[in-house]
Each structure stands twice: as C-alpha cells, then as structure tokens.
Copies of this chain bind each other. A is one copy, B any other.
Amino acid sequence: MQGIPLSASIDRMIARALDYKKNPWRDVQAGARKRIGLIFLNPSLRTRLSTQVAAQQLGMEAIVFNIGSEGWSWELEDGAVMNGTSVEHIRDAVPVLSSYFDVLAIRTFPGLSDREADYAETVLQQFIAYASVPVISLESATLHPLQSLADLITIQELELKRPKIVLCWAPHIKPLPQCVANSFAQWVGAWDRADFVIAQPPGMELSETFTTGAQLVYDKAAALRDADVVYVKNWSAYRSYGAMGTDQDGWMLQPEDMEKTNRAKIMHCLPVRRNIELSDALLDSSSSIVTRQAANRVWAAQAVLSNIIQSL
C-alpha cells in the first residue's frame, strides 16, 4: 500500500483498526462524496467485500470493476504494437480511472514464470505511475499488505507478550504466489513485537528481502515448539521460481503437531484447501482463528482507507 510506512506506524494502524472495530461508524462522514474504484484483474472475495464494507462505514461510494470480464483486458508492455487480444493499454486506462475516483485500488496476481517481472511489480507500479490519485494494493504480484495488517490486528487481539509466531509452509496442488507470506514476514519483522520463525522444506525459502530478522527452520517439529501462533500457508518457490516443492510429505499440519506448541492459535488467510493445506480437525477446532482473521480484514481496510481520505 502506498504511503503507509511499515515501521513505527504499525502499532498506530492496529490501534486505529481496533478502534473502528469498536465503533464502525465513527467516521461515517469522513468519506462523504468520495469514491473508491476497486479494480480487479483477478478474483477476490474477502478483499473485495471487506473493502466495500470499510468504504460504506466511512460514507464512501465503492465501485467494483472486473477488468477482463466486465471490461477489456489490458496491455501492460511499453511500446507494444497492440495487434493481439489486449484492447487497452494500462497507461490509457489508469489516467481515466483517476479522473473518476478519489482513490483507486487494484488486485493483480503474478504470472509465476518470470521472477524479475513479478518482483518488479510491473502491473502495480505501472498502475501507480499512471494514477494521479492514491492507490491501494488489494494484493499484488509479491505482496498483500491489507492482509498482513489484518493478520497483525488478529495477533494483537490475542494479547500475548512477545509471542512466538511460526509461518509454516503447507502443501498445495498448484503453485501459489508468495505474496501473503512475503508480506506477513515483512510486517512481522517491521513490527518487532514477536519472535518469528519461518518453517519450510528446503528450496521453499522466501526472498531474503522480506525475511530479515526471521529464523528459517527446515524441521517443522522444531519450529513449532512453544509456538503461540501458527500461520499456515502454501507458497511456491522463490529460488526455483514458481516450483511447487517436490517434498510436500509431512508438511500438512496435524493435531499432534500442535501438542508441541504453547496451545497455539492457527491462522490462514483463506481460501484454504481443506485436507490439503490444513485438516478439517484443525480448521474446525477452537485453535483456529481464521474466521476472525478474515473478519478483521474490514478493520484493516477501514484504517488504511480513512488514513488516505484524511490526506485528500
């Protein structure tokens, strides 16, 4: 997200979000006569709806636009001779969108084939470059900041003193982006209120850009010992870019794994593939706080959005 430094302001953002959670409508005048355009190049449930809800609670109009299904697919390459299937260049579309909205928000996924292009955040950066209004990321190729803010809000609500947080890689049936894991590592690191361990099979290490301060562990059991929070998430390889990881065996979190923890709470950003990433037994247990985590997306979005409209 643009304009939100990932350091000292995190506690302030969490506090602001939790304040909205207590009184959702306290700033319902703040967004009057303001509009946010939610532009989706990829599907979304929680992100889209929580942002719409946050906007409503700030008195803003939120308009959803699904590029591709409702509009035309975008050309992203500079200098392209547009004789293919893309009907409009992002550099033409975004200035127009900027004229219609006070704030823009965009979701885009990585291709997972060209690491440099994905990590250059080509789409998001172009979007920002061509926009003349503030831009919120609703998940980009490599980061998902609104998710991470909601994650920290959820951890803050546990009222733990310097918890041990384990980000624990999980199996999946297809290659997923690294963005949720990258962002979580980045925010937990910047927050600096927890001991942070990332557990993954060899080869599945995240980019070091985001994991500063984290302890990388290849032994799931060791990682989980005395954990207060276990954040379960699949991601594909950063090094052998987009690879799924051949050795997934034993990485689906099991009830017996939890015995080593400090009665840890289980988090996941959803959607979750049951009995692939996480078993029914754990998802349906009282250890799981995934629903509250997703519910907190509203307050994260509202804190960020209110921050932005204050500055308009």
The residues of A with any CB-CB pair to B shorter than 8 Å are 25, 28, 33, 35, 37, 40, 43-46, 48-50, 52-53, 56, 61, 63, 65-66, 69-72, 75, 79-83, 87-89, 91-93, 95-97, 99-100, 173, 270-276, 280, 283-284, 290-292, 294-295, 298
Contacts and interface: CB of A to CB of B under 8 A. Distances in A.
Given A75-B274, A275-B79, A295 B49 contact: no
A168 to B, nearest CB: 18
A61 B97 CA distance: 20
Nearest to A69: B69
Nearest to A25: B33
A95 B43 contact: no
B83 A273 contact: yes
B275 A92 contact: no
B63 A291 contact: no
B92 A283 contact: yes
Please give the count of copies of this chain that the complex contains: 3
A96 B173 contact: no
Given A49-B100, A92-B274, A95-B291, 14 more contacts: A43-B70, A44-B70, A44-B71, A45-B93, A46-B96, A69-B70, A79-B275, A79-B280, A82-B275, A88-B272, A96-B294, A99-B292, A99-B294, A99-B298
